[in-house]
Every structure is written in C-alpha cells, then in structure tokens.
Structure 1
C-alpha cells in the first residue's frame, strides 16, 4: 500500500512552456491516502546544466519509505532527448534500482533494473519515465487535446496515452488556480486504474493536483503545497 502511494508520487508531472522553452522550477506536494491516515511529501525540481543539458530531480518520502529519481536530458528542436535516468526506492521490503544510459551515437539504451541487464534500440522520441512527463506538459501547453508517448518501462517500450477533459478551478495551499484537467487513457479491459491530473494555466502548466484510483478502489490524491517557476513564487487567487 505504501508502495502504491510512492508510485503515485512518482507520477507527478511537471511544468513546461508552449513557446518551446524550459525554465527552472521547484515544487513541493503533499499526498493523502484516503483509506488510512498515511501522508507523504514530494519535491520536484528542474535546473539547467552548464553544458546545455537539463537535470530533473524528484524526491518522495513517507514514514520509513523513500524514493528518488533523476533524469539528465537535452531539449532539441522541441524534442526531449534523455541522456541518463536513475531511480531508487527503499524502505518497502525489496528495494528497486534502475540505471539507464541513452547512447544517441550508437542508438542504444544500455542499463539495468534489479540487476537484470537492459539493452534496447534507441529511436528519437523515446522517453524515460520522467521526461515523458515534461513532454506531456509541453503538449498540453501547446493546446493539444490527445497525446501519446513511447516510454521505456523495464525492458519494454510502452505506449502512454492521455487526453484533455476540460478546465477546472483547483483549490491549493497557494490559492485558487485555473487548471487544465487531463486523464491517462487506459484500456478498461486491461486495467481498472484511473489517473487524472490538473495543470495550472497561468503558471506554465505546473501540476497542481493528481488523483489516482487503483484497481482495488484505493484512492490517492496529491496537491501542490508551494512552488516557484523561474524564481517566481506560485500564487493563486483568493476567490
């Protein structure tokens, strides 16, 4: 159960810009599991490296569990090009480690997951489990209504589909925020899980809320606590 909440935290999506631009940001979130009094927190940040690459970091914790995720990528002509991906989870029985390196010269993905070696062909457009979230934000900001991404998940390339549902006002600790509501599209005959996300229209489409319902009916909700985009604190309206 704790693992499910951490995985929900890991699904946090991030801000991007309709004008084919990335800016540094930091955002913190609180998480609630409605069935039991278990809470958690998470922080994501994006910063530019001196060599033109970007570093995307994620840290989540609750009770004795923790999770960390880091992606290094390049942004080239509107396309996110992963360079390295690292994932670590501990405190939930068996830990999990993922290491992936993206060799764009040799067109290969090389790495390991739980000690199992991974080697796969690399094509432009393939994302890791962090960079696809940036691609999603980029496309929502550009006004797209349906999106699809090829994401390396374990030793397979999975298709992640999303669609825009409309607009809603979300009440956060930073105030009321006008948001775009997006859902993950899954085949109901294959999965009963539901994931819905809300992105702030006036704050570079920063994620402000995420709601996830597991196949067993358990529900998790993640809400923005505070954040900054390009050094500016996120502030909603009071009414």
Structure 2
C-alpha cells in the first residue's frame, strides 16, 4: 500500500496526466450484475449528469440480498477533474459500509467518515475520489493512453491506482457486439490475487463508455457487470 508520502511526491507527476480528448457527455447505462456465489442475477445502473457547473456520477447495484450505491460530485477544469464530494453505501452481503468524503480545496483537506472512523486528510493536488477516477480513466483511454496512474482518496488513505491497456476485444452485450478496449488494474505483489478488468467501448459515438467490468477477489469470488442498454448524450446505444 502506498500512503500519503508517496502520493504527495507523485502528485506533481500525475496531476496533469489526464488529457481530455473531448468534452464530457452525459450518459446512462444499465447492466446485468452477477455474483459467482449467488444463483441469481441483479441489476446495476451508472449515469453521468450535469447540474450547473458540476458533474454528478452515480452508480447503483442491487440483488436480492445486497445493494450498493456510489455517488460523486466533481468539476471539470480544463484538463483535470476536481472532486467535491463522494458517498458510498453497501448493505446486505458481508458487513455494511458507509463512506462520506467532502473535499475542501481551499484548505486542501478532505473530511468525512469511513465506517464510523473520522476522515481528515491533507489533499495533494490532483487527488481523485474512488468514483471520479473512473471518468479520468475513461477519458485517458479515449485519448489513446496505454498506461495510467491516479492519486485516489481510498477511505482515509491516499493511494496510487495504476492501470494498463491490454488491447482490443469484442464484448457481447444485450445491445449487440461491441468492439472494446480492455484495461486492467495493476496491483502490488501482495494484492496480485485480486483482479479488476474493464472494457470501454471503442466507438467514439459511444464516448468510450464502460461496457463490461469483472472483479475477482482474493478468495476467487467473482463479480461481473455487462451492458444491457444505455444512452450517450441522449442517443441510444446499439451494437453490431
């Protein structure tokens, strides 16, 4: 785990790495959600909307025995994203979890709670929350980058998230086959048993939206979401 010192040192390097290929576009996407340990499927929804000068990224997943919500509010300033607030709530399977983060960029501090533990962290420039970095990743993939790193506030800790592009693959979804760019999270050796893979639509008309995600935990349990339907900038998505 790389903590505050490393994140602070690298902030000057990574703060300017997110290049915006094109202006953000609002989107809505629904997904089928599957856990390998459960005999039934669930649903998930992800949306990006603009309210005034702020963008709001929401994710909701629900199954019979579990639910998860994740919400971020952020600003887009030139070639960077500036998080303002982050909320995460999980209930059902396993222990429940609530995270609340508020970003004060004048004071350069983040405050809130993580499972009832107080958060009060100094913010290096360029820090993202656990949801906003996904938009930065999507935009960097669209810009043709093959290796990406982000400073992320994870609970009450500052970490560096690394990613690499593995190539192109065809993903079969409910809206048809989609040519996608596969991205993998690069973890440290002690975390290498966990795997996160994401596929972003290659079509510019789809604005490189997430079409599939697979998460494999250390114990082998697997979680997967696959695109069911969606819109980008009000236009309905349709594959081949």
Distance in 1, Cα, partners of 2:120 & 2:20: 34
2:14 paired residue number: none
CA distance in 1, matches of 2:152, 2:236: 31
TM-score w.r.t. length of structure 2: 0.87
1:180–1:199 Cα contact (<8 Å) kept:
yes
Q: Aligned ranges for residues 13-52 of structure 1 at < 5 Å?
A: 19-50=21-52, 52=53
Relative to the length of structure 1, the TM-score reads 0.87
- Report if the CA contact (8 A) 1:20-1:78 is conserved: no
Distance in 2, Cα, partners of 1:212 & 1:90? 18
Superposition map of 1:63-102 within 5 A: 63-92=64-93, 94-102=95-103
Q: Does 1:182 align with 2:183?
A: yes
Superposed displacement of residue 18, structure 1: 5.1
- What's the counterpart of residue 223 of structure 1? 226
- Cα 1:214–1:91, aligned 2, differ >3 Å: closer, same or farther? closer
Tell me, in whole angstroms, the C-alpha distance in 2 between the residues paired with 1:219 and 1:67: 16
Offset, 1:37 = 1.1
8 Å contact from structure 2 (residues 199, 210) kept in 1: yes
CA distance in 1, matches of 2:173, 2:94: 33
1:181-200 residue pairs with structure 2 within 5 A?
Answer: 181-200=182-201
Contact 1:126 1:152 in 2 (8 A): yes
Q: Tell me how far apart the structure 2 counterparts of residues 130 and 101 of structure 1 sit (CA, whole Å).
A: 13
Q: Which secondary structure does the structure 1 equivalent of 2:226 belong to?
A: strand
Going from structure 1 to structure 2, the CA distance change for 1:137 and 1:119 (only over 3 Å counts) comes to: same
Tell me the SS of whatever aligns to 1:217: coil
Matched residue, 2:208: 205
CA distance in 2, matches of 1:87, 1:136: 20
**RMSD, matched Cα:** 1.7
CA contact (8 A) 2:44 2:225 kept: no
Aligned residues: 221
Unaligned runs of 5+ in 2: 1-17
Q: Is the 8 A contact 1:17 1:205 kept in 2?
A: no
- TM-aligned CA deviation for residue 103 of structure 1: 0.4
Q: Is the 8 A contact 2:25 2:207 kept in 1?
A: no
